[in-house]
């Protein structure tokens, strides 16, 4: 029960932060994806970078258990799904997490986004045998792999470099990008906070 309560508190706090930084506003997301206003992108890069440094640094120091790291299998369907995900994010202004957070703030358009996502997931489940037979879900490059090798992990690394060191380096690159990128690329961003509908 304590785990569920902790998850609810952390999830609510994360949702509040997403709303506060504008990630639940399709207008702001649209400006980010069209590269007109990069404030949200800078925040995302900073969060990923700091998280990577803390996680991989914690693994090196023995503070984070490598066994908690989950790596998904590589297959063509993941790349196709990623393209579809990006296109859906650009069109709707929501990704699954921000859509749920936006719905919690009262945005009606987010409810339609969630319904569409659930219908899409149901359609995938119903047609799964056809996708499986197509070969799009067959593993390649060894299935579960990481860029660098992580001691104690059950996943192969594509490079001989330590995965922890590589993770910290990439995290620092993300942090540097977050500070180096301008907030706006051209003109006025035009993104205004829209009230909940």
pLDDT single digits (tens) 91-131: 999 988 899 999 999 999 999 999 999 999 999 999 999 98
CB-based contacts of 112: which residues, under 8 Å, 6+ apart?
A: none
Listing DSSP states for 183-195 in one string gives: SBSSS-----PPP
Range scoring the smallest mean pLDDT among 24-28, 53-57, 97-101, 161-165: 161-165
Q: Are residues 114 and 170 in the same domain?
A: no
Q: Are residues 85 and 116 in the same domain?
A: yes
The parent domain of residue 151 ranges over 45-74+139-185
Q: Are residues 81 and 125 in the same domain?
A: yes
pLDDT band at 26 (very low <50, low <70, confident <90, very high): very high
Q: Are residues 7 and 19 in the same domain?
A: yes
> Whole-prediction pTM value?
0.76
pLDDT band at 64 (very low <50, low <70, confident <90, very high): confident
Q: Are residues 121 and 83 in the same domain?
A: yes
Q: Are residues 32 and 96 in the same domain?
A: yes
Q: Are residues 11 and 104 in the same domain?
A: yes
pLDDT band at 2 (very low <50, low <70, confident <90, very high): confident
- Beta strand segments in the chain, E: 145-149, 156-162
Q: Is residue 196 part of a domain?
A: no
Distance in Å from the first CA to the final CA of the chain = 34
**Overall number of domains in the chain:** 2
Q: Is pLDDT at 197 greater than 80 in this prediction?
A: no
In this prediction, what percent of the chain has a pLDDT beyond 70?
90
Q: Is residue 190 part of a domain?
A: no
Q: Are residues 169 and 83 in the same domain?
A: no
The pLDDT of residue 173 is 96
Query: How far is residue 66 from each of residues 73, 154, 156, 181, measured CA to CA in Å?
Result: 17, 9, 13, 32
Q: Are residues 91 and 69 in the same domain?
A: no
Q: Please state the rounded mean pLDDT for residues 142-162.
A: 72
């Amino acid at each position: 029960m304590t785990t569920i309560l902790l998850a609810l508190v952390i999830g609510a706090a994360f949702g509040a932060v997403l709303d506060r930084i504008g990630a639940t506003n399709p207008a702001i997301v649209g400006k980010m994806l069209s590269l007109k206003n990069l404030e949200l992108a800078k925040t995302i890069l900073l969060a990923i970078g700091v998280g990577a440094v803390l996680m991989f640094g914690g693994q090196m120091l023995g503070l984070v258990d490598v066994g908690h790291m989950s790596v998904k299998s590589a297959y063509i369907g993941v790349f196709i799904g990623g393209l579809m995900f990006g296109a859906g994010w650009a069109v709707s202004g929501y990704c699954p997490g921000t859509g749920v957070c936006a719905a919690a703030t009262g945005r009606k358009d987010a409810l339609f986004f969630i319904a569409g996502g659930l219908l899409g997931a149901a359609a995938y489940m119903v047609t799964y045998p056809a996708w499986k037979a197509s070969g799009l879900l067959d593993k390649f490059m060894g299935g579960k792999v990481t860029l660098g090798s992580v001691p104690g992990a059950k996943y192969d690394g594509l490079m001989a470099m330590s995965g922890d060191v590589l993770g910290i380096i990439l995290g620092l690159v993300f942090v540097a990008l977050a500070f180096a990128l301008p907030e706006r690329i051209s003109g006025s961003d035009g993104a205004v906070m829209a009230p909940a509908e």
